[in-house]
Amino acid sequence: MATDTTVSRDHILETFREQLAGFEVKPDQVAEDSSFDVLGLDSLDVVELSVRVEDVYGIDIEEDDLENVTTIGNAIDVVLRKISEKS
């Protein structure tokens, strides 16, 4: 579990690439501007992905946090904010 508050955007992006492999998304398809729709994820998939990312970083992502999240970059912002709030 990564708990360091200096986790970089690149590290979180790599985590998303690893976790999205479970949704049959190729790592080279995942960039900060990739939308979940284009990646083939529906809202339930995004919730499942957020649970996986919570486990990696030891954070809690609420449903409200995901309300306006449409891209990987938006999701990275949420993860960074949650890590910051935790410390």
**Does some domain include residue 1?**
no
CB contact at 8 A, 61 and 53 = yes
pTM of the model: 0.90
**What is the pLDDT, as a whole number, of residue 39?**
98
**Does some domain include residue 37?**
yes
Domain that holds residue 14: 9-86
**Does some domain include residue 82?**
yes
Q: What is the pLDDT of residues 51-67, one digit of tens each?
A: 999 999 999 999 999 99
Rg (CA), the chain: 12
Domain count, the chain: 1
Domain with residue 68: its CATH number is 1.10.1200.10
Q: What is the pLDDT of residues 10-48, one digit of tens each?
A: 999 999 999 999 999 999 999 999 999 999 999 999 999
Catalytic residue ranges: 42
